[in-house]
Amino acid sequence: MKTTSRLLASALILLASITAAHAINPQKEYTYTPKDFGIEYVEDSVVTSDGYRINIWNLPSTGENGRSVLIACADAGNMGQWLGIGATLCFLGYDVWMFDYRGFGGSQDFATDRDMLYHSEYLRDFGAVLEHIAVLRDRPVDVLAFSMGTIMVGEHLRQYPGRKSLIRSCVMDGFISDPAESVRILNGGKDNGNGNGSDNGKAANSGSGGKTVRLPATPLLSPGFRPQDISVPMLLIHATEDTVSPRRLLEPLTVSPLVTLLEFDCKHLQAAFTHTEEYFTALDTFLKAH
């Protein structure tokens, strides 16, 4: 019960950081580590192809089910603030892996431009960690990605389709399937295809505060992610109040028989906290089915 209460506190802190984020917003110091929750873990690291050391936490499963899940986090904080997600999956029997992008948490320092939606270099970080796990466990890896993390997963799948991806299946929560369109919305553009006519907190704050979110010079997922880019089973989690990645951008992907779209009545990235039991039941069911 004590561990559950601490995990809930971590989830609430994460929820606040998600609401406040406008673009890349790394935090170097860990608010929490698995040790704070009494969770067994192994600290690991990997060096990317361009020489950056990436910090990794492995939460070994409490009941081996032969599945490793890699969490690709969003653009704010560090992996310590996602421990509520990782620990829950661990308690469900999954071998959980978490990492920090360069410039985040315990990973090597990096000159972060906080006006960027993402840095293209994060793709190298994700790829290095994914390969490390696949080699170490000698099996493909399931991936759970959030917001900015979905861009890395989508581009990886585009470059390495099917078995080459080392991905068994993926869950995309808040999929930024068309980063250029999401940047347009974040910078104050209207989304006429969403139906509710309102932006979530991230978009509204960006537009009213005068901050301009930019894409890298060499953008990822350009053009946007398409049905022909899908080569592994994919669960899309969409929030009804998410205008940064509106439903109209995801619907074309549902023509693929590999795609399942699940919708929750909440804001961007909040489904795990507003619909906790339904959310993790859906994840567990999807992962076990593939």
State pLDDT tens for residues 19-60.
445 589 999 999 889 998 889 999 999 999 999 999 999 999
Q: What is the pLDDT of residue 210?
A: 58
Q: What is the pLDDT of residue 208?
A: 33
Q: What is the pLDDT of residue 206?
A: 40
- For residues 245, 282, 87 and 271, what is the CA-based torsion angle, rounded to 10 degrees? 40
State pLDDT tens for residues 128-181.
999 999 999 999 999 999 999 999 999 999 999 999 999 999 999 999 999 999
- Please give the residue that has the higher pLDDT: either 21 or 72: 72
Q: What is the pLDDT of residue 73?
A: 96
For the cut 70, the answer to whether the pLDDT of residue 204 exceeds it is no
Q: What is the pLDDT of residue 5?
A: 45
Q: What is the mean pLDDT of the chain?
A: 88
Percentage above 70 pLDDT, the chain: 84
Across the beta sheet with 42-47, the strand order is 42-47, 53-59, 95-99, 68-72, 141-146, 167-173, 234-239, 259-264
Domain of 130, in residue numbers: 2-289
pLDDT-wise least confident of 50-54, 102-106, 185-189: 185-189
Q: In total, how many domains does the chain have?
A: 1
Q: Which residues have CB under 8 Å from 198's CB, separation 6+?
A: 204, 241, 243
pLDDT-wise least confident of 61-70, 140-149, 270-279: 61-70
CATH of the domain at 170: 3.40.50.1820
- Please give the residue that has the higher pLDDT: either 227 or 64: 227
For the cut 50, the answer to whether the pLDDT of residue 209 exceeds it is no
* Phi and psi torsions of 219, nearest 5°: -75, 155
pTM score, two decimals?
Answer: 0.90
Q: What is the pLDDT of residue 23?
A: 80
